[in-house]
Structure formats: structure tokens, C-alpha cells
Amino acid sequence: MRVLMLVMLFLAAHLNLTALVPLQAGQPSPPWWVGGRLIWPFAVQTNTLLPPGDALNTATPLLAIGSALSFLLAAFILLRWGVPAAWFPWLIVAGAILSLALQAVWFTGWALPPLLLDAALLWAVFGKEITARSLL
């Protein structure tokens, strides 16, 4: 279970960090053998919730980095890299909330896998009441 949770946390961090370098207009999607748009859900030509400009350019990196950092810190707890274990559920909840906001701003059909991953992480924390101690 610990390995599955680590994979989910690293994947969630990756999916949110791809917002920092979205596919440019006219750029082909990544090849299918590396996951294609499933692992790179953001593209410049997406009609975003916020209009293009300063608000979008400010919100996107803040949400992407905040969610990825939260998920990475939660993964570091499972790797025993000096983050307090008591923070584990709070980091997952914070990461998921920031990720949900990011996916809502950039919503397309490609946002569904990251949203499902966020839902699975939240279900693990609230539904299964998984803690860092139970995974270590």
C-alpha cells in the first residue's frame, strides 16, 4: 500500500507541475508510449476559467507549485525524509484542494485523470483513514 501511495503522490505532483510548461499552440502532444496528454494535461490553447493575462499567469504557477509541493512533502514522509508524520493528511488535503482549483481553472477532458487521482487521495485520507504511521 505504501508503494501505491508513493506512486499516486509522485504522479499527482507531476500532473500539477506540467501546468508550468503547457503544450504550446501547434505543438504535437507527447507520444502515446510516454502517456501522451494523460500525463501532460495542459495546453496553451485551452479555454481557461480565468481570461489569459496576469490573473491566469499568477494563479497557475501558485496553484501548480503549491499542490506539487504538498504532494511531494507527503511522499517525503513515506520515505522518512524528515517531514513530521502528523502532517501527512493535511498535506494531501492541501495538495488536493490546490490541484482541484488548478484543474478547474484549466478544465478540459484531460483534467479528468488528475481529478480522479485527487479524489482517490482524498478518499484514502477520509474514507480509509490512512495515516503515515499505518503506511510505514
pLDDT tens digits, one per residue of 8-22? 999 999 989 888 877
Whole-number Å distance between alpha carbons of 7 and 53: 34
Model pLDDT, residue 37: 67
Distance CA 16, CA 30 (A): 16
Task: Answer whether 42's CB lies under 8 Å from 32's CB.
Answer: no
Task: Report yes or no: 45 and 20 within 8 Å, Cβ to Cβ.
Answer: no
The band of 6, judged by pLDDT with boundaries at 50, 70 and 90, is very high
Q: At residue 113, does pLDDT exceed 90? A: no
What does the domain layout of the chain look like in residue ranges?
Answer: 2-22+33-41+56-135
Residue 68 above 90 pLDDT? Answer: yes
Higher pLDDT, 59 or 43: 59
Whether the pLDDT of residue 133 is over 90: the answer is: no
| DSSP helix/strand/coil, 58 | helix
Whether residue 64 contacts residue 42, with contact meaning beta carbons closer than 8 Å, is answered with no
Identify the CA nearest to 22 among candidates 52, 100, 74, 75: 52
